[in-house]
Amino acid sequence: MAEHLLKILIIGDGNVGKSSFVHRYVNGQFNKMYKMTVGVDFSVKLLQWTDKEKVRLQLWDVAGQERFISMTRIYYKGALGCVMMFDVGSLSSFLSCRLWKQDLDNKAMLPNGASIPCILLANKADLAERAVSSENIDSFSRANGFVTWMETSVKENRNVGESMRRLVQEILMV
Ligand code: GDP
């Protein structure tokens, strides 16, 4: 049985739903030790990908960042994929995605020099009040080289597993 170990970054402004997303997806397997060392939490999720392949996901959440900050290279080192999240009810969290993506592309590279696959998640899609239109998200996603974008609602458990599967699919194709 082959096992792939994939380090995935979860980035975006504070309060958009990142830790809720990870918690929902992983069902509470946390590695608290790591937080003390590097200041970042990571959680682990094991997937049976095919009959012959397992995928061990290490999800690194930028816990405690209110707004965009340039992250240390240690955080990006060895990452093979990225989930970038904003809140559809918060225009500023969407605008920050440009900065997060620039920082990511500057610091996280695949061994061949390509930028790492990143999926854009428009979270809190259950909210009636939208600050960002689908058209804006779509053109931003295309212009900035995201794998794709999806609406999610961690609250209603909408597109949580689906978005992660889409990202893993993209990573394993590379
Ligand atoms: P983080 O700072 O990005 O890790 O965000 P949190 O996971 O702490 O979530 C911030 C707040 O948003 C919390 O009160 C969550 O309960 C709430 N939240 C997270 N996801 C959703 C969602 O899909 N819909 C709604 N309505 N609230 C959400």
Locus of tokens 């058209």: 135
Pick the atom of ligand 1 nearest to 156's CA.
Answer: 23
| Continuous segment of H or E residues that includes residue 7 | strand 2-11
CA distance 170 to 164: 10
pLDDT, tens only, 131-148: 999 999 999 999 999 999
Ligand 1 pocket by Cβ (under 6 Å): 14-20, 123-124, 126-127, 153-155
ipTM of the complex as predicted: 0.99
Residues in a beta bridge with 11: 84
Q: Whose CA is nearest to atom 25 of ligand 1?
A: 124
Q: Which residue has the least CA distance to atom 22 on ligand 1?
A: 124
The CA distance from 75 to 23, in Å, is: 20
Positive or negative torsion for Cα 31, 34, 36, 40: negative
Model confidence over 22-47: pLDDT tens digits?
989 987 444 444 444 555 668 899 99
